[in-house]
Amino acid sequence: MHPKSVGLADADAFTLRGLQIIGRALFEARRRAGLTQRRLADVCGVHQSTISRLERGRLNGIRLKKLALIVAALDSLSVVDPY
């Protein structure tokens, strides 16, 4: 079901699920890269708590630009070939 075709409560559930999916992917990528939350945060110029909340799906106010920075940092610091 498309989020626009459901009620507000359902849309909130979709948002929550999406944040959880993003967080899990970031967690797994960080672990594969062999990085601590603190190291990733230092590289990205954010607080360690920001990385922690993102990974737990608890940070919904992050700007797309900052999220893109974190994803790019993970990609460039990764020691595992993703292909």
What lies within 8 Å, CB to CB, of 4 at 6+ separation is 11
Q: Which residue is associated with the tokens 């601590």?
A: 36
CA distance 18 to 41: 22
Q: What would the pLDDT profile of 47-70 be if each residue is shown by its tens digit?
A: 999 999 999 999 878 999 999 999
User: Would you state the pLDDT for residue 81?
Assistant: 45
pLDDT > 90 fraction of the chain, expressed in percent and rounded: 64
Q: Could you tell me the domains of the chain?
A: 3-77 (1.10.260.40)
Q: Which residue is associated with the tokens 């890269």?
A: 33
